[in-house]
Amino acid sequence: MKTVLFLCSGNYYRSRFAELFFEWTAKAAALRWKARSRGLWLNCDNMGPISPDAARALEGLGVQVPRDVRFPLEAVEEDLLAADLVIAVHEREHRPMIESRFPAAARRVEYWQVPDLDGAAPHAALAELAVQVRGLAQRLSAAPATPSSTPR
């Protein structure tokens, strides 16, 4: 089983949506991938384990949010190094954080372009994340199962 790690700032909104939606999508597609998510800066004002916007969007897609969903977790270098694929959901926001905190892992990160609430309304950002996650699942399902062909 391989692991994709989704990164955002607070591990409350975008990366949590991506993690849970990828898990659901991967299971439906019988992918041998699992998802994890972490935050790069947990000094945000998160009001619980997952953003209500993310939970509503997931439920709208048919994904049930677990009742015992965990609280946000901060990324540590081991998280990035242990993952087979690392995705930061917004390049402009996250590249500087990753390069300063995790320089050894920075070259392994794939960047998407999904801004936080200050750059996009929740329905638009989460709809874009859903598109990106579906595309990722398709890409991973089409990749040959050899060690040299898997993103790392």
pLDDT digits (tens, 9 = 90+) for 56-67: 999 999 999 999
Query: Average pLDDT, stretch 74-93?
Result: 97
Reduced to 3 states (helix: H, G, I; strand: E, B; else coil), residue 112 is: coil
pLDDT band at 36 (very low <50, low <70, confident <90, very high): very high
pLDDT, residue 44, reads: 63
Look up the CATH number of the domain holding residue 95. Answer: 3.40.50.2300
Quick check: 75 and 40 in contact, CB under 8 A?
yes
In a domain, 147, yes or no: no
Burial of residue 61, with CB atoms counted within 10 A of its CB: 0-12 exposed, 13-18 middle, 19 or more buried? middle
pLDDT above 50 for 101: yes
The full 3-state SS of 68-81, as one line of letters, equals CCCCCCECCHHHHH
* Residue-averaged pLDDT of the chain: 92
Average pLDDT over residues 33-46: 87
For residue 151, being part of any structural domain is answered with no
Asked which of 91-95, 116-120, 145-149 is least confident by mean pLDDT, the reply is 145-149
Is residue 23 a part of any domain in this protein?
yes
Residue 35 phi, psi dihedral angles, 5° rounding: -120, 150
Q: Which domain holds residue 132?
A: 2-78+90-137
| 10 within some domain | yes
What is the number of domains present in the chain? Answer: 1
- Tell me: pLDDT of 150 over 50: no
Asked, for residue 107, whether it belongs to a domain, the answer is: yes
